[in-house]
Amino acid sequence: MRSRAVFVLGGPGAGKGTQCAKMVEHFDFVHLSVGDLLREERAKSPPSENAELIESFLKEGKLVPVSISLALVREAMEREKEGSVFLIDGFPRNGENLDGWKEAMEGVVNVCGVLVYDCPIQELQRRILSRGETSGRSDDNLESAKKRFKTFERDTMPVVRRMEEGGIKSVHIRGENKLERVWESVVASDVIGGNGVEWEKYGTNESGVEAIAVQRKESGKCTHYLKIRRLKPADSRSIESNQIIALPYAPLALHLTYLPLAFVTTLTLLVSSSDSTIKIYQPVLNNDGLFEEITDEGIREKLLPNLHQTFPSPVLTMDTLLTPSPPTSTSTTSTTSTTSPTSSTYHVSCGCRCGYLCLTSYDPQSPPSSSFTSWNIDGPISAVQVSPRSPSVGLTLLVSSLSGYVCVFSRPSRGGPWGEPEVLPESVNDDDPVLCVCKAPFPSLSGEALFVGTARGKGWSGQTETLIPTFNRVMLDTEQAENRVAILSASIPTFTAKVQELASDDAKFGDVSNKGCSPLFLVVRFGKAVGMVEGANSPALVELITEQIPELKEDDE
Ligand SMILES: Nc1ncnc2c1ncn2[C@@H]1O[C@H](COP(=O)(O)OP(=O)(O)O)[C@@H](O)[C@H]1O
Ligand SMILES: O=c1ccn([C@@H]2O[C@H](COP(=O)(O)OP(=O)(O)O)[C@@H](O)[C@H]2O)c(=O)[nH]1
């Protein structure tokens, strides 16, 4: 993957270095301060040929020629792994810098945006003089500082404008605020949101509220935030206020709606999260644009029945087009197979990870809404499996939810509506909420067959979600899949405990309890872990499954 860069600019003392250090603490970024690189070059022993020139430029608050600064940036970048996200602090500071960057780096490193710390000069001056007491920097004195302020106003601000006009996304942050306030604005900024931090945007709603889910890593653990913006209805670009709500788990689905609360119809924000809870937020009454969580059970009870109506269309759609007639024998069918123009089409929408599943079966000749059905699946949906194999039943849809249910829906082979859900009598193991998306109750974890466990809640659910088509393909492309492979998912604590139990005596898996935020797949045979795939790496997972899957048993054929 190509490396990415975020430019970090602002007057001298605006807090660029301080904030970059914080970003590196929380996110997987590489901080390159061009000023630091220059100072290192100047202090090198044996002295660099540019040392004297650099010293004179720094002291005068002037900008060193781009050939020198950019060469140092490039060298520093080359020392890092490919695909890194660089915070380039204090660059580009003038037109020459920007031209130099474009010439050398365009097509090599993607610029994602520019963070600009705005701060009044009086505050800059106060900070520089205070920093000068300990920094030992030859330019942290009043005389040099004044020259640097001038350079910033004259050369750097026009470059910021040039970048903005050229379509580079910029985020202006008020640098004069207290450190923590400044930091909050950084976390909430879209520049950061798009670079290395997992985020998901929930579209602007006609209600004038927009929410962005941000995941940030803190000492190896993930914390999830929802940034909620109230927008002025008249001008959706102007932000009236901005609130960050911390969530214990990844938000799975979010819906903005008007719900009747007593006699008042109020704007309500419903968030379902991977811990199977649905949180409700409403605007604080003396409205300054903030939301508060509704925890009052009485109010929740009143509101929750309305959920059924408020999630009418899938929040997450996994549209699956299926051919209406089941394939003959065990020939493989892909869930993405195109439909023949003469046959009717069955459209399965499943989603609403809030715990609702919407199924639509329809004939293209008749309106799609005619046979819309929606079911409550007791907890967020963790996986959906479509099985077109059984000729007597037609199509089967298996839905597992994080709370421990596996439901089977079936539909006759020649079409018609989906039947009532049938809850599978057992999951994989009675006292284990690990779920099975395979059709038959799976023998047992210690059996010959293979299971692939996914820590669905462990990472950002979206990443694991991207593997669902892979699971479907594996199940559909594998003969007697239901006897040979099961794909299971579990909540974080359950999965971690299970993984620890199954992989603990094998050093090759390392410390399984501390695998960070990305999804984790554990492949097990005969009750022992035989492989692990970290991250949503579909090819690696398929390779491992193909390698390890039990032989086909002839007498079963
Ligand atoms: N939000 C803030 N409030 C008060 N002081 C700050 C804040 N951010 C940074 N500082 C202090 O101001 C000085 C300049 O910050 P620094 O991050 O070195 O700025 P820059 O890299 O933009 O020159 C440092 O002494 C730092 O501790
Ligand atoms: O791209 C750059 C970045 C920095 N500098 C020089 O390095 C000094 C210090 O910059 P730094 O970003 O370290 O500190 P700040 O001025 O932001 O406090 C500047 O005044 C310039 O003289 C430069 O010439 N080109």
Q: In terms of domains, do 152 and 165 share one?
A: yes
Q: In terms of domains, do 539 and 497 share one?
A: yes
Number of domains in the chain: 4
How many degrees, rounded to 5, is the angle at CA 47 between CA 42 and CA 49? 80
Q: Whose CA is nearest to atom 14 of ligand 1?
A: 13
Window from 16-25, 271-280, 286-295, 467-476 with minimum mean pLDDT: 271-280
Single out the residue in 287, 310, 333 at which a domain terminates.
310
Ligand 2 atom closest to the Cα of residue 89 is: 12
Q: In terms of domains, do 231 and 140 share one?
A: no
How does residue 246 score in pLDDT terms, banded at 50, 70 and 90?
Answer: confident
pLDDT of residue 186: 72
Helix (H) or strand (E) run with residue 359 in it: strand 356-360
Quick check: 177 pLDDT over 50?
A: yes
Instruction: Write the CATH number for 18.
Output: 3.40.50.300
Q: In terms of domains, do 242 and 141 share one?
A: no
N- to C-terminal Cα separation, the chain: 45
Distance CA 128, CA 140 (A): 6
Most confident of 34-43, 466-475, 521-530: 34-43
Q: In terms of domains, do 390 and 462 share one?
A: no
CA distances 188 to 4, 6, 194, Å, are: 19, 15, 11
Q: Measured in angstroms, how far is the CA atom of residue 175 from the centroid of ligand 1?
A: 9
Considering the entire predicted model, what is its pTM?
A: 0.49
Q: In terms of domains, do 187 and 209 share one?
A: no
Q: In terms of domains, do 406 and 552 share one?
A: no
Q: Whose CA is nearest to atom 15 of ligand 1?
A: 15
Q: In terms of domains, do 103 and 32 share one?
A: yes
For residue range 344-394, list pLDDT tens digits in order.
333 444 444 444 555 544 444 443 333 445 565 655 555 555 554 444 445
Instruction: Write the CATH number for 234.
Output: 2.40.128
pLDDT of residue 189: 61
* Exposure class string for 476-501: b at 16+ Cβ within 10 A, else e: bebebbbbbbbbbbbbbebbbebbee
Q: In terms of domains, do 403 and 323 share one?
A: yes
pLDDT of residue 404: 47
Distance CA 181, CA 190 (A): 16
Q: Is 97 in the pocket of ligand 2 (CB under 6 A)?
A: yes
Window from 354-363, 415-424, 522-531 with minimum mean pLDDT: 354-363
Q: In terms of domains, do 323 and 462 share one?
A: no
Distance CA 453, CA 464 (A): 11
Ligand nearest to the CA of 181: 1
pLDDT of residue 81: 86
Ligand 2 atom closest to the Cα of residue 13 is: 18
Q: Work out the angle between the directed axes of helices 468-477 and 538-548 (0-180°, nearest 10).
A: 30
Task: Quote the domain boundaries for residue 252.
Answer: 199-310
Distance CA 311, CA 315 (A): 7
Q: In terms of domains, do 120 and 50 share one?
A: yes
Quick check: 282 pLDDT over 70?
A: yes
Mutate which of 9, 40, 64, 138 for ligand 2? The one with the most ligand atoms within 8 Å of its CB, which is 64
Q: Are strands 520-525 and 450-455 parallel, antiparallel or unpaired?
A: antiparallel
Single out the residue in 380, 403, 425 at which a domain terminates.
425
pLDDT (average), residues 239-265: 60
CA distances 240 to 34, 169, 245, 290, Å, are: 35, 20, 16, 10
Mutate which of 55, 93, 143, 154 for ligand 2? The one with the most ligand atoms within 8 Å of its CB, which is 93
Q: Is 146 in the pocket of ligand 1 (CB under 6 A)?
A: no
Q: Is 11 in the pocket of ligand 1 (CB under 6 A)?
A: no
Single out the residue in 254, 275, 310 at which a domain terminates.
310
Distance CA 147, CA 127 (A): 15
pLDDT (average), residues 81-91: 89
Q: In terms of domains, do 147 and 9 share one?
A: yes
Torsion sign, CA atoms 468, 529, 332, 398:
negative
Q: Is 18 in the pocket of ligand 1 (CB under 6 A)?
A: yes
Q: Is 182 in the pocket of ligand 1 (CB under 6 A)?
A: yes
Distance CA 464, CA 533 (A): 12
Q: How many CA atoms lie within 13 A of 462 on its CB side?
A: 15
